[in-house]
Structure 1
Amino acid sequence: MSVELITAAEAPPAVGPYSHASRHGGVVYCSGCLALDESGVFLGGDAAAQARKALSNLEKVLAAAGAGKTDVLKTVVFLTDMADFAAVNVVYAEFFGEHKPARSCVAVAQLPLGATVEVEAVAAISG
C-alpha cells in the first residue's frame, strides 16, 4: 500500500512544505488548518471566527480526500490561549453536530501567521 498525498484545490494553499492531507488505506491524516482565505491570507478575528474558518477549511480538505466531517475519528485543536476554550467549543459543537469524534485540545505558545486556533484531524474512509 502506498501513501497518497492530497491537495485540496478548494482549500487555501499550504503555508509550508507539506500536503493538505495524506491517505494510507482507509485513513486520512489532515494537516492543521488555520483561518486562511482561499488565497492563503490569514483572516484574523477572534477565536470563534478563526475556529469557524479553520473548520470550514478542514471540511474542504476532507472532501478532497473523499471524506466528510462524519468520517472524522479524531481531532486536535491547538489554542494559544485556553481562555478561548469555551468560545471554540461552541463553534466546534455547531460544526460537528451529533457526531463527536475523539479530541484533544492543547495550549501552545504560538501558531503560524499569528493564528490563535488551528485544527487537525484523522478520518476513516472506505477504499
Structure 2
Amino acid sequence: MIQKRISSGSTFEELIGYSRAVVDEHYVHVSGTTGYDYSQMTISDDVVEQCRQCMVNIQNALKEADSSLEKVVRVQYILPVREDFEPCWPVLREFFGEIRPAATMIAAGLADPAMKIEIEVTAGR
C-alpha cells in the first residue's frame, strides 16, 4: 500500500507523470535522480558535480520520507558514458562507503544530453 508520494519540485515530475519517491509500508523507492539543482533547475557540465548533486537530491527525498542513506539497500547507477563512472567513485564512496548497498552500473542513454549520471535507490523505512 502506498503511504506517501514525494516531489522534488522538478518540472519533469509533472511533465512525465512520476514522483521523486514513493513510500510504501517497508521501503522508500527513489526514482532515477539526476544532477539538477531543482531549486534553480540548473545542471553542471561536470559529471562529478552532477553525481554529488544526485546524492544531495536523494538525501533530501529520503529525509522527507523519514528514511536516510544509512537505510539504502539497493542502488542503480546509469551513465551514458561508461568511462565517466570511475571519476564518480570518490563521491559515491563518501556517501555509501560504510553503507555498502547492493549496486549495479548500467551504461545507457538518458533523457537529456546534459545529464551525465542518474542514480536510483531503494531504502528501508
State the TM bucket, normalised to the shorter chain: 0.7 to 0.9
Q: TM-score by structure 1 length?
A: 0.87
Partner residue, 1:87: 87
Partner residue, 2:3: 4
The letter of the residue matching 1:93 is: R
Deviation, 1:103, is 0.6
Root-mean-square deviation (Å):
1.7
Deviation, 1:42, is 3.2
Rounded to whole Å, the distance in 1 between the matches of 2:81 and 2:23 is: 31
The letter of the residue matching 1:6 is: R
1:13 maps to 2:5? no
Listed as ranges, the gaps of 5+ residues in structure 2 are: none
Rounded to whole Å, the distance in 1 between the matches of 2:80 and 2:98 is: 27
Question: CA distance change for structure 1 residues 3 and 102 in 2, over 3 Å: closer, same or farther?
Answer: same
* Displaced runs of 4 or more, over 3 A: none
Rounded to whole Å, the distance in 2 between the matches of 1:113 and 1:57 is: 19
Partner residue, 2:109: 109
Q: Deviations over 1:107-126 (max 9, x none)?
A: 0023336201010100011x
Q: TM-score by structure 2 length?
A: 0.88
Rounded to whole Å, the distance in 1 between the matches of 2:40 and 2:120 is: 17
Query: Which deviates more, 29-38 or 60-69?
Result: 29-38
